[in-house]
């Protein structure tokens, strides 16, 4: 197992410990861990909206969801902040934006399915989200 996988398993360990070891419960533990990890990375305003949407999708009552949030979501977000403190951009975004040497750019490498009938103004078949003419159809 790689270092990233080992770190994530260590992060998810409190939820893994609560399972009976069945595949379904392990999958659920990792899914909740991943959700909480991602919640910890987004700004708090957006986080609150996302948590509200989670409550609706889980179809939990107010008290049940409040307990789930108190016992699972909040501790896992705090755990993510503790274990992966260097991944947070709080306070460092201005520094990164002010110094061009510190800027990083994420790129997605995809390949388009060759389709000679692709209209230049349709979405690109590589699922980049760009129009074909600005992506794989560039001349």
Tokens of 33: 């861990």
pLDDT in tens, 59-95: 889 999 999 999 999 999 999 999 988 765 544 444 4
The residues, any chain, with a CB within 8 Å of residue 25's CB and separated by 6 or more, are 19
* 16 half-sphere exposure, CB direction, 13 A CA radius: 8
Cβ count within 10 A of residue 77: 20
Is 77 within 8 Å of 36 (Cβ atoms)? yes
Is 125 within 8 Å of 111 (Cβ atoms)? no
Outline where the chain has alpha helix (H): 3-17, 23-41, 44-58, 62-68, 74-83, 93-98
User: What local confidence, expressed as pLDDT, does residue 19 receive?
Assistant: 92
Radius of gyration of the chain (CA): 20
- Give me the percent of the chain exceeding a pLDDT of 70: 76
pLDDT in tens, 92-103: 444 444 444 444
Looking at the DSSP bridge assignments, the partners of residue 123 are 131
């Amino acid at each position: 197992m790689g270092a990233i996988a080992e770190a994530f398993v260590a992060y998810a360990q409190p939820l893994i410990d609560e399972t009976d070891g069945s595949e379904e419960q392990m999958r659920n533990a990792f899914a909740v861990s991943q959700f909480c990890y991602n919640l910890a990375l987004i700004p708090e305003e957006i986080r609150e909206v996302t948590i509200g949407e989670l409550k609706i999708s889980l179809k939990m009552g107010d008290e049940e969801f409040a307990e789930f949030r108190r016992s699972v979501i909040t501790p896992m977000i705090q755990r993510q902040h503790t274990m992966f403190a260097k991944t947070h951009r709080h306070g460092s975004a201005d520094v990164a934006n002010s110094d061009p040497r510190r800027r990083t750019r994420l790129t997605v490498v995809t390949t388009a399915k060759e389709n000679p009938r692709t209209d230049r103004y349709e979405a690109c078949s590589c699922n980049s989200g760009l129009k074909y003419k600005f992506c794989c159809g560039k001349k």
